[in-house]
A and B are shown apart, each in its own frame.
Chain A
Amino acid sequence: MAAEKTERVMPREGSTEIHADTKGSKAVRIILITLSVLFLFIMLVMPLITVIYESFRKGFGEYLKAVTDDETVGALLLTLEATVIAVIINTVFGLFAAWAISKFRFRGKKFLVTLIDLPVTVSPIIAGLIFVLTFGRQSFLYSYLEEIDFMIVYAVPGIILATVFVTFPFISREILPVLEAQGTDEEEAAALMGARSFTIFRKITLPHIKWALIYGIVLCAARAMGEFGAVSVLSGHLRGKTVTLPLQVEILFGDNKYMPAFAVSSILMIMAVVILIVRSIVEFIGRRKGEE
């Protein structure tokens, strides 16, 4: 609709600066900024400060004790196990799915994308529920599982499955837009010159999606480590055995062991802050690339 601006007015500071008499009043500015800062401080910053404060309330020594507690370590290991598996499976899936969706035409594409996104839109409790229904007492799979003594529900496999489920779309969701925006031109050119599929993927596609992929993995890992609802349903809550870090937090808090609860939380919080930093970096790089 709009024309090429043949002569746009010269260098302005800030691309969204409005002119002369269309600028808002200073008072409105100050009010809005103050409101925003206050809101974010109360809603976001204070909870973070609470975690740190409560973790170290009894001193650094006690903090270390809580963090290196056997149960806690067990929970950490289980959490890591589930996270790693989830990341691997979902990366593989994410790459294949995003590739398939962006490079091929077929009907029902949108439907497929919606399906893939489903785990994110579903409540974590319901996510846990469906696995219980599939593998739990009521299902026809149960007796079979009982025979081979492979328990899913209320055992580690269940936790891992739930984790994979809720983080399922994270990676494909991040790389899909990049792939779609990129188009098929470069790959087609390479194919015409005789490159094989895998080479094309490695040398052309992968570099493009590098940052989106990294960000997707980070998001996936974060959600995997922090997943609570779904894992809670499938867990069985056996301390030291089927308890992940978030569940351990719940247990400690429920036992009124506040300091340890927050100490364990601080581990997860550090991870959250790392994610935010990574995201900022990725966005910064992405923005610079866009300006090149």
Chain B
Amino acid sequence: MGITFTLLSLIVLIPLASLVVFTSKMSFSEIWNVITRPRVLVSFRVSLLTALIASLINAVMGVILAWVLVRYKFPGKRILDGMIELPFALPTAVAGIALTSLYSDSGWIGSIFAKFGIKIAYTRVGITIALIFIGIPFVVRAVQPVLEKIDPLYEEAAGILGASRARTFRKVILPELYPAIFTGFGLAFGRCLGEYGSVVFIAGNQPYETEITPLIIMSELQEYDYSSATAIALVMLLAAFIILFIVNLIQIRNTKILKGGN
């Protein structure tokens, strides 16, 4: 127990505490001024929007992928299943440059879109794609186990009562999956907000256009402007905290419905 605690404090708690200490040194107006700078505000928007869209796409694809992996048999399924964790295993920098190369105007995918005058790399679209990449495993892996355990009886019951497959999916299966989907979405969203390595190459990092919040923090640090960096970091932490909180709330509500109790 003791060792646990010592290590925990040294490595996690004390550094985190320094954040608190440092923040308390700054006045509220100082913080407010930093985070309301136009460039900073835009970066919030860029980060939030791209994270949101990417996570929503992952939520939808995650359910589809989970469904396909659990319910269907086809050649190569095992390989596909094993690949899902790639975004977790691959270093972000590698993913970053690979994606940049792929979607740049001369890249394999980028060149196809360039013909129609659509740029992907160095735009917000590029950022979103990179965020989709890193978020793939979250919803899939959250939904898969739940889907595997759903009793086929529910679907049979609905079928006998006359429900079409679509309705059965919507009204019977999907509600069972919602908690997992929300959890996966929340985790993906949180990860997307804080992601640096995969995004920083493909973004192009143009202020007011494709600058994400982690990058701004990085630049402030490189200029030794610790106060600004900390202030912005605080906002990020707050956002992450809120997301975790909401995800937890949803978990609790669903446990209530499932476990009941009078």
Whether A and B touch (Cβ < 8 Å) is answered with yes
- Asked whether A232 lies within 8 Å of B8 as measured between CB atoms, the reply is no
Chain A 221-236 interface mask (CB, 8 Å, partner B; 1/0): 0100111110011000
Does any Cβ of A come within 8 Å of B257's Cβ? Answer: no
Q: Is the CB of B196 within 8 A of A123?
A: yes
Residues of A contacting B70 with CB < 8 Å?
16
A288 on the B face (CB < 8 A): no
User: A229–B92 contact, CB under 8 A?
Assistant: yes
Interchain CA distance A94-B218 in the complex, whole Å: 30
Task: Judge whether A63 is part of the interface by a CB distance below 8 angstroms.
Answer: no
Q: Residue B132 at the A interface, CB < 8 A?
A: yes
Question: B229 — which chain A residues lie within 8 A by C-beta?
Answer: 129
A182: interface (CB < 8 Å): no
Nearest A-chain residue to B153, judged by Cβ: A2
Could you give, for residues 145-173 of chain B, a 1 whenever the CB lies within 8 Å of some chain A CB and a 0 otherwise? 00010011001101100000100100000
Residues on A with beta carbons closer than 8 Å to the beta carbon of B197: 124, 228-229, 232, 246
B214 contacts which of A17, A39, A97, A125 (Cβ < 8 Å)?
A: A125
Name the distance in Å between A274's Cβ and chain B's nearest Cβ. Answer: 9
Bound form: Cα–Cα A122–B241 in Å: 10
Contact (Cβ within 8 A) A40 B15: no
Instruction: Assess A122 versus B237: contact at CB under 8 Å? Given A47-B133, A116-B12, A275-B89.
Output: yes
Set of chain B residues within 8 Å of A47, measured between Cβ atoms: 90, 95, 98-99, 102, 133
B98 in contact with A253 (CB, 8 Å) = no
Looking at A247, A249, A271, which has the most chain B CB atoms within 10 Å of its CB?
A249
Interface centre among A121, A136, A229 (most CB of B within 10 A): A229
Q: Which B-chain residue is minimally distant from A127 (CB atoms)?
A: B15
Q: Are B89 and A272 in contact (CB under 8 A)?
A: yes
Instruction: Choose among B3, B16, B85, B155 the residue that contacts A92 (Cβ–Cβ < 8 A).
Output: B3
A190 in the interface, Cβ–Cβ < 8 Å?
no
Task: Choose one: A2, A21, A233; the contact of B159 (CB below 8 Å).
Answer: A21
Which residues on A sit within 8 Å (CB–CB) of B12? Answer: 115-116, 118-119, 165, 168
> Is the Cβ of B94 less than 8 Å from the Cβ of A226?
yes
A132 on the B face (CB < 8 A): yes
Stretch at the interface among B60-68, B113-121, B176-184: B60-68
* A262 at interface, CB cutoff 8 A: yes
A93 to chain B, nearest CB (A): 5
Name the one of A35, A123, A164 contacting B194, with C-beta atoms under 8 angstroms. Answer: A123
Q: Please provide the chain A residues from 109 to 143 with a CB less than 8 Å away from any CB of chain B in the complex.
A: 115-116, 118-119, 121-126, 128-134, 136-139
Q: Is the CB of A32 within 8 A of B72?
A: yes
Chain A residues numbered 242-292 whose CB sits less than 8 Å from any CB in chain B: 245-247, 249-250, 253, 258, 261-262, 265, 268-269, 271-273, 275-277, 279-280
Known: A40-B65, A100-B4, A269-B94. 18 other contacts (CB 8 A): A16-B148, A18-B155, A24-B165, A32-B64, A40-B80, A43-B132, A54-B101, A96-B4, A115-B8, A122-B240, A128-B221, A129-B19, A129-B217, A129-B229, A165-B12, A232-B197, A258-B101, A265-B91
Q: List 16 A-B contacts (CB under 8 A).
A: A22-B159, A24-B165, A32-B68, A32-B72, A44-B87, A50-B98, A89-B7, A97-B4, A123-B240, A126-B236, A129-B19, A129-B229, A133-B226, A139-B18, A272-B89, A279-B82
A: which residues have CB within 8 A of B?
A: 2, 14, 16-19, 21-22, 24-25, 28-29, 32-33, 35-37, 39-40, 42-48, 50-51, 54, 89, 92-93, 96-97, 100, 104, 115-116, 118-119, 121-126, 128-134, 136-139, 161, 164-165, 168, 219, 222, 225-229, 232-233, 245-247, 249-250, 253, 258, 261-262, 265, 268-269, 271-273, 275-277, 279-280
Question: Residues of B with Cβ closer than 8 Å to A?
Answer: 1, 3-4, 7-8, 11-16, 18-19, 21-22, 61, 64-65, 67-74, 76, 78, 80, 82-102, 107-109, 132-133, 136, 148, 151-152, 155-156, 158-159, 165, 168, 190, 193-197, 201, 214, 217-218, 221, 224, 226, 229-230, 233, 236-237, 240, 244
